[in-house]
Amino acid sequence: MTLRATRWLIAIVGGILVLLAILAGAGSRTDKLRQLLIATLADRLDSEVELQSFSVDTFPTVHITGTGLTIRHKGRRDVPPLVAVDAFAMDGGLIGLFSRPRHFRTVSLKGLKVNIPPGGLKRAPKTSDSTPSDEGSPAAIVVDLLEAQDAALALIPKREGKEPKVFAVHRLTMKPLGRAQTMTFEASITNPIPKGLVKATGTFGPWSREDPGQTPLTGRYTFADADLTPIKGIAGTLTSKGSFDGQLDRIGVQGETDTPNFRLDVSGTPVPLHTRFEAVVDGTDGDTYLNAVSASFLKTSLTARGAVVGAEGVKGRTVKVHVKIDDGRIEDVLRLAVKGNAPAMNGALALHADLDLPAGPADVMDRLHLRGQFNIAGVRFTSKEVQTRISDMSERARGLDPDEHSENVASSLHGDFTLERNTITLRDTAFAIPGAQVQIAGTYGLASEALEFDGSVRMRASVSEAAGGVKGVLLKAVDPLFRKDGAGAVVPIKIRGSRMEPKFGLDFGRVFRSEPSKH
């Protein structure tokens, strides 16, 4: 997550690189300053420090330069260094050099590369003979402005088999710099996936020497024009803004996103999507815990709670959330998830579901798994032919002749469902219309649009009453085959075909069974 990258970058620069100037006025000898710099960094970070070149020029102004600064974890040459700086420069005046605290106007860094290890930056536990911490003492130096351009920040995952996440840092400024000070910062970073420019401003510090993860951080961010296309299965252009507050290893984030053209590849239909969220980011591994998410698209709103966590040996993160829709519209969901310009039905939707989106390279819809319950009230089908059939069925199920107003009949639908591998499976699903209750179970392919459902229709009328006329007289003999519990008829049915050409029919294979279907 980009906010995690931002805060660790600021932590590294504010807590480590400013030490390039610590005690710079302790003497005029270059060698002494060089050794003092190396020893201070090594002690502060419990690390091995290398410095290729170092020079001090005090005329006409103070100008300190160095190249090839490398900071490594002790004994770990098998991993990238914690910090690498191609070149650095510090500028100030003679008065600032000998003042207390020592004062420099600028610090500039070139070729900064930071590699944050799993768990972030942790100091070794203090022992009984450790020297007392002086982190609350006045700052040894003050730097008015630090600038770094074209830097790189890599977050090394703790889970095996995952590549580091690398962020391009276009520009970072911090001021003023000092160990016991609160600093302001501005950062401009490109987030890799989804790719977009993040700008953040805020405050950082004072630096916690004993546990850098407890260093305070607060601010605001904007995330502009992020292209969602690289995330297989979805598309759109996302913009986000919000605020963050906490400490480096655990920070709260509040914000909102707008994606005016969000779409799933399975349908290809764009819809405007707006979300608001409150989350906590674990700085040790980047896992995000979603305390509250609210989203809206078209006339439907939903809420969600859950987590976005890493997975062992798999690129990306796993999303696990509980989704709730109390007052939505089924046509909005169908427009987002099903092919075609016109949704198959309209109606009021309530839904509760557990969403599991495992990490991996496959399309979102191929990885997505949903399991839950739904209820749709006031259902009307957009196909006049289908709606007429449903309405005719209602009239006949009550023993009435269909009339020209039958297409106004509304129905309701509720049941359990799963969505997995681009296929919706319905179980224990009841479809109710005046005079009849339909029980169905089966599958619908989101990509293939194939229908395969079996079930039964329980009518108030008998088969002969539903047929009416001459057909009804002829069918009186078969009424006992479809009668159950002395009530109306129970007729086994099947639905095949496709969304555009559904085929409804009597399931003759079940007609002569001793017990009608209970699907």
The residue whose two tokens read 């009804």 is 472
* Domain ranges, ordered by start, for the chain: 1-122+139-190+198-218, 383-519
Token pair belonging to 108: 């500039």
Question: What whole-number distance in Å separates Cα of residue 415 and Cα of residue 437?
Answer: 13
pTM of the model: 0.74
Question: What whole-number distance in Å separates Cα of residue 20 and Cα of residue 36?
Answer: 10
Contact between 266 and 337 (Cβ < 8 Å): yes
Query: Which amino acid would we find at residue 394?
Result: S
Provide the pLDDT for residue 276: 96
> For the chain, first and last CA: distance in Å?
46
The 8 Å CB, 24+ separation contacts for 34-40 are: 37/66
Contact between 25 and 185 (Cβ < 8 Å): no
pLDDT by position in tens, the chain (length 519) = 566 666 666 666 655 544 554 444 444 456 766 776 677 667 666 678 888 988 888 777 888 888 999 888 777 777 788 889 999 998 887 666 666 666 778 889 999 988 876 655 554 455 444 444 444 455 556 778 889 988 888 877 666 666 777 888 899 898 887 656 788 989 998 887 788 889 999 998 776 666 666 778 899 999 988 888 887 788 899 999 999 898 877 789 999 999 999 998 878 889 999 999 999 887 656 678 889 999 999 999 999 999 988 776 677 778 899 999 999 999 999 888 887 777 888 999 999 999 998 888 888 888 889 999 999 998 888 878 777 877 877 777 777 766 654 556 778 889 999 999 889 999 989 988 888 888 889 999 888 889 999 988 888 877 777 777 766 666 677 767 677 665 677 888 888 998 778 888 777 666 555 444 444
Provide the pLDDT for residue 8: 64
CB atoms within 10 A of CB 125: 7
Contact between 71 and 55 (Cβ < 8 Å): no
Provide the pLDDT for residue 132: 45
Provide the pLDDT for residue 129: 47
Token pair belonging to 349: 């939707």
Provide the pLDDT for residue 168: 86
DSSP type of residue 20 = G
